[in-house]
Amino acid sequence: MFQSGFTFSQNIIVKYISYKNPLSSSEILEKYKNLPDNVKEKILEKALLKYKDQFTLYHSKAKSMYLFEGRKFDSEVDEEFMRGPFILDHYRDFINKKIILIADFVPDNYQVEIGFNEIKTELKQDTMTINGYKCKKAIVTFLGDSKAVVWYAPNIPISDGPSWFLGLPGLVIKVSINNELITEAINIDFVSDPIKINIPERENIVSYNKYRKGLAMKWISAYDR
């Protein structure tokens, strides 16, 4: 449950869940129409299954990390098949204003980096109460031209949140991408002791665009069996 009456601290641990609103078979096939038929069939099989991804945000002053904790299924499925290639962990360096990604298909001596300046926010006047917190709305543009509706809590003055969604005047409570992928906070803990966060410093740096191009080829290869 969410806490109330807290004393503000710059050390915070937030549990998030992320899940997809189910699409119809025709919507899925249209979305991936340019992929080979055998790849589309396997994506369709995967996309129709229901699950929730679990993440934890650890924020301590000038650093944070958003870590993948696991996937919970609504029914028994082949978990290895369901896992698929996706980004695992996000680290944030608020001094140097960058996000560092440790991701599938990236060699151990590489890391993916994204600058805070690649994330654009547009604040709105809309308000909504979510899990007891009065939130305000923002439209966030990320990864080029992708957009999301984001709800943040000004009463929690920490400019952080899940995955790409940070830099707003309050902690991000809920994110909706195309009303399809939903991420929301389910538990917030304020802690007095600093949280140890080690930002990765690998030898080679890859841009997100280059990573995405490589990931697309790996994704097709993973399904082309």
pLDDT tens digits, 103-119: 766 667 778 889 999 99
Kindly tell me if the per-residue pLDDT of 27 is higher than 80. Answer: no
**What is the domain partition of the chain in residue ranges?**
11-223
pLDDT band at 56 (very low <50, low <70, confident <90, very high): very high
- CATH class as words, domain 11-223: mainly beta
Taking the C-alpha atoms of residue 158 and residue 155, their distance in angstroms, rounded to an integer, is 9
Taking the C-alpha atoms of residue 59 and residue 160, their distance in angstroms, rounded to an integer, is 8
Kindly tell me if the per-residue pLDDT of 81 is higher than 50. Answer: no
Burial class, 161, CB count within 10 angstroms (exposed 0-12 / middle 13-18 / buried 19+)? buried
- Mean pLDDT within 161-180: 92
Kindly tell me if the per-residue pLDDT of 224 is higher than 50. Answer: no
Kindly tell me if the per-residue pLDDT of 134 is higher than 90. Answer: yes
pLDDT band at 223 (very low <50, low <70, confident <90, very high): very low
3-state helix, strand, coil in the chain (%, to 5): 20, 45, 35
What pLDDT is stored for residue 49 in this prediction?
A: 62
Amino acid in position 214: G
Residue 63, C-beta contacts closer than 8 angstroms, at least 6 positions apart: 91, 92, 93, 94, 197, 199
pLDDT band at 122 (very low <50, low <70, confident <90, very high): very high
3-class SS string, 138-158: EEEEECCCEEEEEEEECCCCC
Kindly tell me if the per-residue pLDDT of 155 is higher than 70. Answer: yes
Confidence (pTM): 0.78
What pLDDT is stored for residue 166 in this prediction?
A: 93
Query: Which range in 7-16, 43-52, 90-99 is most confidently predicted, on average pLDDT?
Result: 90-99
Task: Count Cα neighbours of 59 within 13 Å in the Cβ-side half-sphere.
Answer: 27
